[in-house]
């Protein structure tokens, strides 16, 4: 006998649910044009923001490149300064863009900034590493110990500096690997591209030949190389005997050369020495093994 009584209650509950769902759907439809307009406005703001960021980057590049004649900074330091300025500019522009978009959707940006200011003190204790990276990046540019384009070794990682941003420094090695190093972690730096470089070649000489003759051949060939090999700042010097190996006498040759040219010059000197020894009938030393 309870079933006929429960049926009207079930129907009434379903009607109430459908009525509530209809009201919610109607309210959503009424608000939909407003949300669509806000989304479209936000999209326009984002597009304009991206355009402004790109225009700002071009303007920064043009302003910095327009000072190429300034004697106080090297091209590498100017490129480093450009990288730092663009990095700071990007952070500021993206922050402004985010606050504008949030304001479009009714978020109280003023209160957010106030909360961020109050909470910044507490967050600062956890952001000491970030602050250290930023300050280190500024000092890297001011001191000029590393600039974009330098060949350096940092934290046992060597390569060419591609960029120095406000927080990180990127280095690409010869194999193409890209290292991203926080500026605060940079301690000891070996810079291999300042003022000049020295090409070093260690030559293995055979014990079977007269040492004076070998040194004379090397001296003559180095004088020829000094007149024809580009990038050399002086005639390569035969410094003398470096050590004695079981199968060869090691003689070192050194020459001051242009920055970044030392590797190519070292290869060229080795090639010339081998060809000259072949022409003189001098056999390069090699390990001999007795086969039983």
CATH number of the domain that residue 225 is part of: 3.30.70.100
Co-location of 189 and 205 in the same domain: no
Q: Among the three residues 152, 170, 193, which one is the final residue of a domain in this structure?
A: 193
Report d(CA 207, CA 249) in Å as an integer.
7
- Report percent pLDDT > 90 for the chain: 24
Q: State which residues form the domain around 251.
A: 197-280
Co-location of 121 and 95 in the same domain: yes
Is-contact 139 164, C-beta < 8 A? no
Report d(CA 64, CA 58) in Å as an integer.
10
Residue 153's nearest CA partner among 129, 195, 184, 181 is: 181
Q: Indicate the length of the chain as a whole number.
A: 292
Q: Among the three residues 193, 226, 248, which one is the final residue of a domain in this structure?
A: 193
Q: What is the pLDDT of residue 109?
A: 63
Co-location of 189 and 272 in the same domain: no
Tell me the longest C-alpha to C-alpha distance in the chain. Answer: 126
Residue 4 lies inside a defined structural domain of this protein? no
Average pLDDT, the chain: 79
| Residues contacting residue 85 through CB under 8 Å, at least 6 positions apart | 60, 64
Q: Among the three residues 193, 211, 239, which one is the final residue of a domain in this structure?
A: 193
pTM for the model:
0.54
Residue 1 reports pLDDT greater than 50: no
Q: What is the pLDDT of residue 2?
A: 46
For residue 190, with 0-12 CB atoms within 10 Å meaning exposed, 13-18 middle and 19 or more buried, which class applies? Answer: exposed
More confident residue, 227 or 73: 227
Co-location of 63 and 167 in the same domain: yes
| Assigned token pair, 278 | 């072949």
| Residues contacting residue 196 through CB under 8 Å, at least 6 positions apart | 233, 256, 257, 258, 259
Co-location of 168 and 40 in the same domain: yes
Residue 67 reports pLDDT greater than 80: no
Residue 204 lies inside a defined structural domain of this protein? yes
Is-contact 109 125, C-beta < 8 A? no
More confident residue, 112 or 188: 188
Residue 228 lies inside a defined structural domain of this protein? yes
Co-location of 105 and 233 in the same domain: no
Q: How many domains does the chain have?
A: 2
Strands 197-205 and 237-244: unpaired
Residue 283 reports pLDDT greater than 80: yes
Residue 288 lies inside a defined structural domain of this protein? no
Report d(CA 1, CA 201) in Å as an integer.
108
What is the crossing angle of helices 109-126 and 75-104, to 10°?
130
Residue 12 lies inside a defined structural domain of this protein? no
Residue 197's nearest CA partner among 227, 234, 143, 226 is: 234
């Amino acid at each position: 006998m309870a079933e006929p009584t429960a049926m009207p209650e079930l129907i009434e509950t379903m009607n109430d649910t459908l009525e509530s769902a209809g009201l919610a759907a109607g309210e959503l439809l009424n608000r939909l044009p407003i949300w669509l307009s806000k989304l479209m406005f936000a999209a326009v703001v984002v597009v304009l923001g991206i355009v402004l960021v790109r225009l700002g980057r071009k303007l920064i590049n043009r302003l910095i490149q327009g000072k190429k004649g300034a004697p106080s900074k090297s091209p590498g330091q100017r490129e480093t300064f450009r990288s730092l300025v663009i990095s700071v500019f990007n952070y500021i522009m993206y922050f402004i863009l985010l606050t504008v978009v949030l304001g479009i959707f009714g978020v109280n940006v003023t209160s957010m900034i106030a909360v961020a200011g109050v909470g910044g003190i507490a967050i600062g204790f956890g952001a000491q590493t970030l602050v250290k990276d930023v300050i280190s990046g500024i000092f890297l540019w001011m001191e000029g110990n590393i600039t974009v384009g330098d060949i350096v070794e940092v934290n046992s990682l060597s390569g060419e500096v591609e960029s120095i941003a406000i927080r990180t420094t990127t280095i690409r090695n010869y194999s193409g690997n890209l290292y991203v190093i926080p500026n605060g972690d940079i301690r000891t730096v070996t810079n291999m591209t300042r003022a000049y470089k020295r090409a070093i070649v260690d030559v293995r000489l055979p014990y079977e030949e007269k040492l004076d003759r070998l040194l004379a051949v090397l001296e003559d060939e180095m004088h020829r190389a000094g007149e024809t090999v580009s990038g050399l700042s002086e005639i390569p010097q035969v410094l003398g005997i470096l050590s004695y190996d079981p199968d060869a006498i090691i003689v070192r040759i050194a020459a001051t050369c242009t920055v970044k040219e030392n590797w190519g010059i070292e290869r060229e000197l080795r090639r010339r020495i081998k060809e000259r020894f072949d022409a003189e009938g001098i056999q390069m030393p090699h390990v001999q093994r007795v086969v039983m």
